[in-house]
Amino acid sequence: MNHTTTYDQIFAQDVLQGLSSPLKTLPSKYFYDEKGDKLFQAIMALPEYYLTRTEYAILETYKAQILDRFAKSGKPFNLVELGAGNGLKTKILIQYLCDQKVEFTYFPIDISGYVLKELEEDLKEICPQVKVHPITGTYRHALKDREWDNGSPTLMLFLGSNYGNFLEEDAKELLDRISDSLRINDGLLMGFDLKKDPELILAAYNDAQGVTRDFNLNLLERINRELGGNFELDKFKHWPIYDPVSGECKSFLVSLEEQQVFIEALNKTFQFTHAEPIFTEVSKKYGLHDIDALSQEKGFKVEKNFMDDEAFFSDSLWVKS
């Protein structure tokens, strides 16, 4: 097999680095290939996975309150979104702005140019006059270049459990960059999955049908497909844990026996001891107090936590001070 594309090489290097470290890890961004995208769609529809539908309902209920600070000023503003994806949730906000005939420009940022193209076409359908300025690239680059910085106020969106998927240090650094990229009185709408009954949280990452298990194992399958690995999937167990103190829900794949795995693209064999874990993703849950402390630390004031009735999830509107 000939693995020549740059993308494969970056994937291969990340896999090499992850599987060579003392605590083996695989970066969660590789969940989302074609099969992973489909499995994640299925996860979002699971009864146990409360996150997506809860946030959707929050945005539907509070869209006017969230947006009116910007929409009612009578001046144009920028709506910037980190990790726009297919923008399903953002469409609620854009539809509202469109109906209110508010002047704004939408700057969706995503690593996938393909996804952004689709999103732009979708948006033109629900709102023909919408101004879209897609930015293809990493958060880091986009926050440095600030293509939206045209003197108008900005509302930045960082929805879903996106922020919670970064490990502590990376998360803090990212929030510093976000804060530096905004001006006084700009807004930041952050999605936070909230601390709650641990059983509910764990079930969301360990559903009865095993879709989440398949999603997690797809990382190994993908290495098999794209890098010529020989992982035997039934020799690894999907294992999520939730720590109610830190709020971290972590997913692992645990080796069920001592084994060796060969990866052709790396021409390398990896040893797994019996019960050795591979760490694949963190999804951190927050208390309202954590959100307050974080906002202050980063130079923001919490204007309001928009939550569902059960307080499962919060879209927190922060204002840069």
**Which residues of the chain form contacts with ligand TRP (CB under 6 A)?**
28, 43, 51, 161, 165, 205, 212, 215-216, 251, 280-281, 283
Report in angstroms how near the CB of residue 261 gets to ligand TRP at its nearest: 20
Identity of the residue, 54 or 251, whose beta carbon is nearer to ligand TRP in the bound complex = 251
Identity of the residue, 205 or 306, whose beta carbon is nearer to ligand TRP in the bound complex = 205
Q: Which of 266, 269, 280 is nearest to 9 (CA)?
A: 266
Identity of the residue, 125 or 199, whose beta carbon is nearer to ligand TRP in the bound complex = 199
* DSSP code of residue 79: E
* DSSP code of residue 46: S
Report in angstroms how near the CB of residue 281 gets to ligand TRP at its nearest: 4
Identity of the residue, 96 or 158, whose beta carbon is nearer to ligand TRP in the bound complex = 158
Report in angstroms how near the CB of residue 250 gets to ligand TRP at its nearest: 9
Contact yes or no for 214/280 (Cβ under 8 A) = no
Report in angstroms how near the CB of residue 265 gets to ligand TRP at its nearest: 23
Identity of the residue, 44 or 98, whose beta carbon is nearer to ligand TRP in the bound complex = 44
Tell me the two tokens of residue 246: 């830190």
Identity of the residue, 210 or 287, whose beta carbon is nearer to ligand TRP in the bound complex = 210
Report in angstroms how near the CB of residue 144 gets to ligand TRP at its nearest: 25
Identity of the residue, 25 or 216, whose beta carbon is nearer to ligand TRP in the bound complex = 216
Residue nearest to ligand TRP (CB): 283
Report in angstroms how near the CB of residue 321 gets to ligand TRP at its nearest: 29
Count of residues making up the chain: 321
Q: What are the backbone angles phi and psi of residue 183, rounded to the nearest 5°?
A: -100, 165
As a dihedral over the C-alpha atoms of residue 172, residue 313, residue 181, residue 30, rounded to 10 degrees, the angle is 70
Identity of the residue, 81 or 281, whose beta carbon is nearer to ligand TRP in the bound complex = 281
What three-state secondary structure class fits 3? coil
Contact yes or no for 244/210 (Cβ under 8 A) = no
**DSSP H helical segments within the chain, as ranges?**
6-20, 34-44, 51-71, 90-99, 113-126, 139-145, 168-181, 198-204, 211-227, 288-297
Report in angstroms how near the CB of residue 218 gets to ligand TRP at its nearest: 10
Please spell the DSSP secondary structure of 167-236, one letter per residue. -HHHHHHHHHHHHHHS-TT-EEEEEEEBP--HHHHHHHTS-TT-HHHHHHHHHHHHHHHHH-B---GGGE
Contact yes or no for 187/154 (Cβ under 8 A) = yes
Q: Which of 214, 213, 217, 192 is nearest to 203 (CA)?
A: 213
Report in angstroms how near the CB of residue 33 gets to ligand TRP at its nearest: 14
Sequence letter at residue 137: G
Q: Which of 291, 159, 286, 20 is nearest to 12 (CA)?
A: 20
Identity of the residue, 70 or 242, whose beta carbon is nearer to ligand TRP in the bound complex = 242
Report in angstroms how near the CB of residue 50 gets to ligand TRP at its nearest: 10
